[in-house]
Structure 1
Amino acid sequence: MCEALGIPFEYDQGEGALSPAAMAEPPAWDRARAAVAFTETARHLVHRLKYNDAPEAGHAMARMMLGPGRKLIASCDALVPVPLHGRRLWKRRFNQAAVLAQAIARHSGKPMLHDVLVRLSATRSQVGLTAEERRKNVRRAFAVPPETRPAIEGKAVLLIDDVRTTGATVEACAAVLKAAGAARVDVLSFALVLTPAQLHIEG
């Protein structure tokens, strides 16, 4: 798979190989991995966690992320979940990325930093937006508060999310984490959308 984007190759190109997409437009993060491709089964688990208040789905998803993410987890200093805006957090009552990060932290012994990355604006849902619209939607949506910067300065951060579609959200998060002093930002998600036709899904 592509070292940077975590997308599968048709044949093994060796460790560290980059896809044409990663070479043409390098992401703000360093490496990305996902447990599964986004299929109907993956959608069912994601929706059970996100909309049906089923934390056991999140625990199952986190366990599935441990294997594909083992190198990223081992080399990170801390886990950082993609944050929700306070209004959406109040409505949903929990952050699905934080549920995954907490479970991975328990299994790995790595610390989770829940207040390092904050969401400044309640952006519209990404569902149904094109890749460019998604990028514009989350631009300047995240920040690292000055008082939390020492926790990540010079550190390797592993960003956790449930679904990566175009990568717009984690791109915005990785950019602000690096601007705040993180030495490395990797991304671990439960599911990865492989085809543009799936852009109508959450992520």
Structure 2
Amino acid sequence: MSPGQALAPLIDLIFPPRCPLCGAAIGSAAGLCVDCWNTLVIPGEPCCASCQRPFGDAMPEGGTCAPCLADPPRHGGIAAGTLYNDPSRKLVLAFKHGNRIALAPMMAGLMVPKLSFVDEDWVLVPVPLHRWRLWKRGYNQAAELARQIGKRTGARLAVDALVRRKATRSLGGLGKLARKRALSGAIAVHPGRKAVLKGTKVVLVDDVLTSGATSDACVSALKRAGAERVVIACFSRVLDEALDIA
């Protein structure tokens, strides 16, 4: 037992754990209260065979969604722990901008069931931050999630496999072409990690998947480096049209 584990009961006695969403008392600091757990939306079956977008009951098993038919993705699937709604947004903001790094085990715990195929043969690669943003924030939230996934799956962590060579503006509100231009040349594979990635199965880890522009740039860089397959794993995925279905 580590010193931290030994002191945990005393710390909980002095500072009772609270639900990070509503503030209610909970049994463990690494979770939510029952009511808040029930507000999270977990994507399920049936779903697109290519990107795991949830379908209505009318879609046959193994079907492909319209976006994937129109523009086949280069990734090997998307594993999302939750769909993006108000509770998941609050968790992401607390984790990313509120220094609530202690949320990482719980958030990664929701992602791992979607990664049942991942084992020690896979490599975990977090979406990179630009060095100035990393310096300002003090940590890369995607890397913290990747560390927790590695502990649960045995997959290897390559925290610096990807680098963000230039700072990019927020992609919100930009069209597909504008997002692509903003990310052009921004993300690349670290020269010293190409040997690790060649012929390897990769899990690209991030906290939120929105338009997919950043993950697409990462997937392209990993594929150019010789990665055999790249699966995208995120805590929350923005799919407003799927919330009612789920």
The verdict on a shared fold, with TM-score over 0.5 as the criterion, is yes
Is the aligned partner of 1:64 residue 2:110?
Answer: yes
- Match for 1:63: what amino acid? G
Where relative contact order (Cα < 8 A, 6+ residues apart) is larger, the structure is: 1
- TM-score where L is the length of structure 1: 0.90
Where does residue 204 of structure 2 map in the other structure? 159
1:145 CA drift (Å): 2.6
1:56 CA drift (Å): 1.8
Where does residue 79 of structure 1 map in the other structure? 124
- Which consecutive residues of structure 2, in runs of 5 or more, have no partner in the other structure? 1-46, 242-246
Is the aligned partner of 1:88 residue 2:133?
Answer: yes
CA distance in 2, matches of 1:48, 1:83: 19
Q: Please point out which of 126, 149, 152 is paired with 2:194.
A: 149
Where does residue 219 of structure 2 map in the other structure? 174
Is the aligned partner of 1:194 residue 2:239?
Answer: yes
Q: Please point out which of 84, 92, 97 is paired with 2:142.
A: 97
CA distance in 2, matches of 1:57, 1:124: 26
CA distance in 2, matches of 1:41, 1:147: 39
1:48 CA drift (Å): 0.7
CA radius of gyration, larger in = 2
- Match for 2:160: what amino acid? D
1:140 CA drift (Å): 1.8
Q: Secondary structure at the match of 1:34?
A: strand
- Match for 1:30: what amino acid? G
Identity %: 37
Show CA shifts across 1:121-150 (max 9, x none): 111122343444323222221111332111
What do you get for the CA RMSD once the two structures are aligned? 1.7
- TM-score where L is the length of structure 2: 0.75
Where does residue 201 of structure 1 map in the other structure? none
Q: Secondary structure at the match of 1:8?
A: coil
The question of whether the paired residues in 2 share the 8 Å contact of 1:46 and 1:162 is answered with yes
The question of whether the paired residues in 2 share the 8 Å contact of 1:35 and 1:189 is answered with yes
The question of whether the paired residues in 2 share the 8 Å contact of 1:35 and 1:69 is answered with no
- Match for 1:57: what amino acid? L
Q: Please point out which of 47, 61, 73 is paired with 1:14.
A: 61
CA distance in 1, matches of 2:145, 2:191: 26
- Which consecutive residues of structure 1, in runs of 5 or more, have no partner in the other structure? 197-203
- Match for 2:239: what amino acid? L
Name the count of aligned residue pairs. Answer: 194
